[in-house]
Chains A and B, each alone.
Chain A
Amino acid sequence: MVRILVCVKQAIDVSQLKVDSATRRLIIADAPKKISDFDKNALEEAIRIKEKLGGEVLTVTTGPEDAKTTLREALAMGADKAYLINDSIFENSDTLATSYVLAEAIKKIGAFDIILCGEASIDSFSAQIGPRLAERLGIPLITYARKLSLEGDTVTAERGLEDCSETVRAKMPVLVTVTKEINEPRTPSYMAIMKAFKKEIVIWKAADLNIPSEKVGEAGSAVQVLDVLAPKVERKKIVIKGETAMEIAEKLAKTLIQEGIIVR
């Protein structure tokens, strides 16, 4: 019996984000949201462990009220119960404040053998929440896991680093952040989606966790956003045409040489 908690983030679907090309501002309000990609891998891994060894998979998110949809998706994939930590005072929290909220929630939810996070979230991509949580909870951490196995009270993981792949072991309780290649997340069946509506979503406000306003939101954050702008794209976009592949290739070759970027 293993007790597993998966931290999921409701992220902006970055592939559908639109930019106002005149102002270079993002049209965030209209962008669809979804479970952050790697968090699905984390959920899938948790559910597979449960299917093999028995136990319980819980999931938690902190975010706006509509993050409930994200939690329903997690429940449809196979999580047993979900927690939404939501309060207007959490808005504009940085990773310091967000990890504080999550850590307080996790302490109240109960003890876990394994806590899973994504390697990074698709919209912020900071890769900080997992490591910060492990510190706040005082448990061992394994980042960038692309294979995970359990034996007794020990977790073994293979990590993909820049220069090597490293196999590491740690005693539970442990926090693990997973990468995309760890598994292929399932698509929930219609039945599973229907069943998810019967599962419980617990909602907690700041007061339920005794969280003071000065430790969250802008006041509780160490980093503040000054500006968000789409990068300038200034490309020539010249289409090279021709009758044959060779003709096109010759034109392109000449153009590249004229650009003076080919040094030999």
Chain B
Amino acid sequence: MSEHRGVWAYSENKDLMLELLGKGSRLAGKLQTQLTAVMLGHDIKKQVKELIGYGAHKVIVVDNPQLKVFHVEPYLSALTQLTKQHKPELFLMGSTKRGKELAARLAARLNAGCVSDCLELKVDEQGRLLAERIVYGGNAIVTQVFRTKPQIVTIPRRRFEKLKYTEESKGEVVDISDVQLEVAKTEIVKVKPIEIAETRIEEAEVVIGGGRGLEKKEDFKILDELAQILGGQVGYTRPLVEDRKWFTEWVGLSGHTIKPKLYIACGISGVIQHVAGIRDSKIIAAINRDPEAPIMEMADYIVIGDLYEIVPALSEALRKLLASS
């Protein structure tokens, strides 16, 4: 166990990878060890410098035509060989859907532990890593420790900040492109990209949330108008996406976790799984006609009323006030 050294980071998502490096470099400092970035793909060597500039002391590159498109098995076999050979003590992986599958399967192959969707990672006085995550649908936060190494954790988008880019940073580059990779067991027959909002919802400073209180899809326009005035974005609850198929992304436990400065929940009941995704918002306002809705317990400012009256009025009031100031 003691032979495991070093913090590693890997995500197939570029932005998330830089965030993992940000958190990883702080953890590596605490653990007095090095931070290694793992790069998998094809024709990727140009990106090595960027990872070093964002905090990696070392980059392990596997540049291989078999890794051109993301298929789990070749990626997984590369990661398995690397971790078996180099034995990191901590492996930070991105909590995308692809990443979660990869991490769980890597953990299975290494007979290792894995903590999914970590919201916080700390090193205690004894040098133990404490991993925190949401459980019981958002009712609680669990703190977990590992009994074995490597310790594998997955981390969602926008949880941690990336470091400032430093052009002059130097780092070691290890090229292990010459590995045997497993062939994929599944075949991709079709890929249909989904439209992703220009600014990601996690990045918006103001989010206007719409729930089943919206009667028709077009009515999102009144929320969008308010969002425009505040320079923010509109987000939704899961039923608007899954049941009504109006939109493609939602906020909450199984969707995006956001921490805007202001969240305005419109026609949202505030069931625990939704609340899990908005808990860290600085200010929460709620507009709902039901005074008993659970969102009332989670809000700083509460309006009991019809969103179809309140939201347009709020847009108008803000427009006036902001124009005069």
- The residues of A with any CB-CB pair to B shorter than 8 Å are 12, 14-15, 17, 19, 26, 94-96, 99, 119-120, 122-128, 130-132, 134-136, 140-144, 156, 159, 161-170, 180-181, 221-231, 233, 235-240, 245-246, 248-250, 252-257, 259, 261-264
Contacts and interface: CB of A to CB of B under 8 A. Distances in A.
26 contacts: A14-B139, A19-B139, A95-B104, A125-B117, A126-B114, A128-B100, A132-B105, A141-B105, A143-B97, A163-B194, A163-B196, A166-B190, A168-B186, A169-B187, A223-B115, A226-B130, A227-B143, A228-B140, A228-B142, A245-B309, A249-B314, A256-B285, A257-B318, A261-B282, A264-B231, A264-B322
Interface string B15-54: 0000000000000000000000000000000000000000
B142 A125 contact: no
Interface in B90-139: 96-98, 100-101, 104-105, 107-109, 111-117, 130, 134-139
A19 B136 CA distance: 11
Interface in B284-310: 284-285, 296-306, 309-310
B185 interface: yes
- Label chain A's interface by main secondary structure: mixed
Tell me which of B108, B205, B285 has the highest count of chain A C-beta atoms within 10 A of its own C-beta. B108
A225 B303 contact: no
B193 A140 contact: no
Interface string B185-199: 111111111101000
B117 A239 contact: no
Contacts of B113: 94-96, 221-223
B181 interface: no
Contact of A231 (B140, B193, B205): B140
B230 A264 contact: yes
B310 A249 contact: yes
A182 to B, nearest CB: 10
A132 B313 contact: no
Interface residues of B, number: 84
B148 interface: yes
B145 interface: yes
Given A125-B253, A262-B230, A134 B105 contact: yes
B317 interface: yes
Contacts of B192: 164-167
A15 B192 CA distance: 35
Nearest to B318: A253
Given A125-B117, A223-B147, A162 B97 contact: yes
Contacts of A141: 72, 101, 105, 185-186
A143 B101 contact: yes
Given A166-B191, A249-B313, A263-B205, 11 more contacts: A26-B140, A99-B108, A125-B117, A164-B191, A168-B188, A221-B113, A222-B114, A222-B148, A223-B146, A249-B310, A261-B205
Nearest to B152: A222
Interface in B228-270: 230-231, 242-243, 253-254, 261-262
A227 B142 contact: yes
B282 A223 contact: no
Contacts, number: 248
A15 B84 CA distance: 42
B141 interface: yes
B283 interface: yes
B81 interface: no
A26 B189 CA distance: 46
B108 A15 contact: no
B316 A222 contact: no
Q: Which A-B residue pairs are the 5 nearest by beta carbons?
A: A222-B113, A14-B137, A249-B313, A135-B108, A131-B104
A239 B302 contact: yes
Nearest to A97: B113
Contacts of A230: 139-141
Contact of B134 (A125, A143, A156, A170): A125
Given A223-B114, A231-B279, A252 B109 contact: no
Nearest to A231: B141
B108 A136 contact: yes
Nearest to A181: B242
A136 B108 CA distance: 7
Given A167-B188, A169-B186, A245 B313 contact: yes
Contacts of A168: 186-189
Given A163-B193, A166-B188, A237 B136 contact: no
B189 A248 contact: no
A134 B190 CA distance: 23
B325 interface: yes
A155 B279 CA distance: 39
A253 B230 CA distance: 11
Contacts of B305: 245, 248
